Chain A
Amino acid sequence: MAEPILAVAGLRKRFGGLAVTDDVSFSVAEGGIHAVIGPNGAGKTTLIHQLSGTLRPDAGSIRFAGREVTGMGLPRRARLGLARSFQITSVLPGFSVLENAALAVQARSGSSFRFMRPAAGERALNEQAMAALDQVGLGARAGMMAGVLSHGEKRQLELAIALAMRPRLLLLDEPLAGAGPEETERLIGILLGLKRAYTILLVEHDMQAVFALADRISVLVYGRIIATDAPAAIRADPAVRAAYLGEDEVA
């Protein structure tokens, strides 16, 4: 079996007396969507911060694409091909939609310590940025300011920015958060399309979406992974059902 794209071993993070990440180990194989689910307060956000490099774990290791990345910060992991999206939409509101994506292309296309030539006129950057926008169906909005997009479109843009990085792994932090029913449907359609070409680690609260999308699911409860399996097996797992007791999404 090929080496997994992401391998997490013995990850721990405590805030005071609370173990928010408690000996978490799992790996993500290349291809498809691996989802991490868990009830509120399970430590999903803390986990994703450690995976993307915005939070340093107390113990354990994270290997990404065959390299030890535990001590690396967010920018270095991004340059290795780990693209993350944010639970709270994070785009550049004062930049055009195209420039948002072009910045991500620029980050992997040679030095950015260039002071003379206008970046907005670089065709190579713009063409690749445009391709990423088209992938998420945002091509028609390229010239608009990102700040005036609808919430759902901003989520799409965030996906396009991640794609423009040519990522080896997409780390999506609740990409459906705050989206209305129609927007959710559109985003699920986009994710289904992306799943064929990319490896995605999806942290999501929306159970229906997760079961519609994921190939594998890890369940995080009180900082621990209590199960990792195919969706059907997860649905039938009594421990998982117990953890979600009272939350009607799975029942």
Chain B
Amino acid sequence: MRAALVVLAALAAAPFIGFGEGYVLTLLARAMILAMAAVSLWLLVGGAGMVSLGHAAMLGIGAYAVVVLDDARITDALVVVPVAMGAAALFALVTGAVAIRTSGVHFIMITLAFGQMAFFTTASLAAYGGDDGYTLYGRTTIGGQRWLENRLVFHFLCLGLLALALAGGQMLLASRFGRVLRAARENPLRVQAVGFSPYPYRLIAYGIAGAIAGLAGVLMANAAEFVAPSYLAWQRSGDLLFMVILGGLGSLQGAVLGALAFVLLEEWLGHLTEHWRLIFGPLLVLSVLFLRGGLVGVLRRG
């Protein structure tokens, strides 16, 4: 957990040691929000052994909950956050009830299919901009106060919620529930042989991961004050999955390291050359080939 704590501390210090400019804070907020989504996906991939390629849908549903409520002039976090998390969790539970009956490649394909369904649904929502997306009237308010308009407040809100997601995920994995989940990832037959049926544990984990991703979606919508169907695109799901694998499946903190490395690398290369994708793509391939165990694995060996 040490590496993640160092990273979180660095993020807390960032605005006061020369990284306080607007665009830097925007970048860091994006990284923290994606890290939170990656933490929720890690719970599925690393915790339960369920490789989902539709996780962006959870994020997007959280973001679109903000849109729908914003359009109805409901902007308070007391309503927005529970609705967004609830909607994402509900979507996860309903689609998960079907998807979790499968495993391996079939699970990947079926989560991808559900994700694309959500993507096309949002693209067809003409009332909310359809393909073009939707610009929010304003950021979510807290008890009627417009605190989130303040960059620093938003920075620390993202950081706090990321830390909370990380701590909560850690607690979940260590609990009785998490132990069954982890055991079922390693050896489902063994788990059944001692008397557990893995299905309900996996389904609840799927719902919890959906809720956390939904919360990240709320932050995502607020960060850009804009939401588009591309938030739910399968490429985004692929990015999230990549962050998780880049960080490493050995520990939950890998999700945070992976997401930050991914976002910052993308940004840095983007500044170097406009053909940055030509470098980024091979780098990703190389990191999978040579970083066995991901960044977490490198830190452990080092």
CA of A83 to CA of B197, assembled, Å: 15
Contact yes or no, B183 A95, CB < 8 A: yes
Q: How many CB-defined contacts (below 8 Å) exist between A and B?
A: 94
Contact yes or no, B192 A74, CB < 8 A: yes
A137 shortest CB reach to chain B, Å: 21
A148 shortest CB reach to chain B, Å: 14
Contact yes or no, A161 B194, CB < 8 A: yes
Q: With a CB–CB cut-off of 8 A, which chain A residues contact B192?
A: 73-75, 78
Can you list 26 A-B contacts (CB < 8 A)? A74-B193, A75-B192, A78-B195, A83-B193, A84-B193, A86-B189, A90-B189, A91-B187, A92-B183, A93-B186, A94-B186, A95-B182, A95-B183, A106-B180, A111-B176, A113-B200, A113-B204, A114-B177, A115-B171, A118-B171, A118-B175, A119-B174, A119-B176, A119-B178, A119-B179, A120-B174
Instruction: Answer whether residue A130 sits at the interface, using C-beta atoms and an 8 A cutoff.
Output: no
Contact yes or no, B177 A90, CB < 8 A: no
CA of A104 to CA of B190, assembled, Å: 10
B interface SS class? helix
Q: With a CB–CB cut-off of 8 A, which chain B residues contact A164?
A: 194
How many chain B residues touch A (Cβ–Cβ < 8 Å)?
25
Q: Which of A103, A117, A122 contacts B180 (CB 8 A)?
A: A103
Contact yes or no, A106 B193, CB < 8 A: no
Q: Point out residues on B near A: beta carbons under 8 Å.
A: 171-172, 174-180, 182-183, 186-187, 189-197, 200-201, 204
Q: With a CB–CB cut-off of 8 A, which chain B residues contact A118?
A: 171, 174-175
A106-B179 contact given A90-B187, A90-B190, A119-B174, CB 8 Å threshold: yes
B183 shortest CB reach to chain A, Å: 5
CA of A161 to CA of B183, assembled, Å: 13
How many chain A residues touch B (Cβ–Cβ < 8 Å)?
37
Q: Which of A84, A107, A115 contacts B196 (CB 8 A)?
A: A107
CA of A132 to CA of B197, assembled, Å: 23
Contact yes or no, B191 A114, CB < 8 A: no
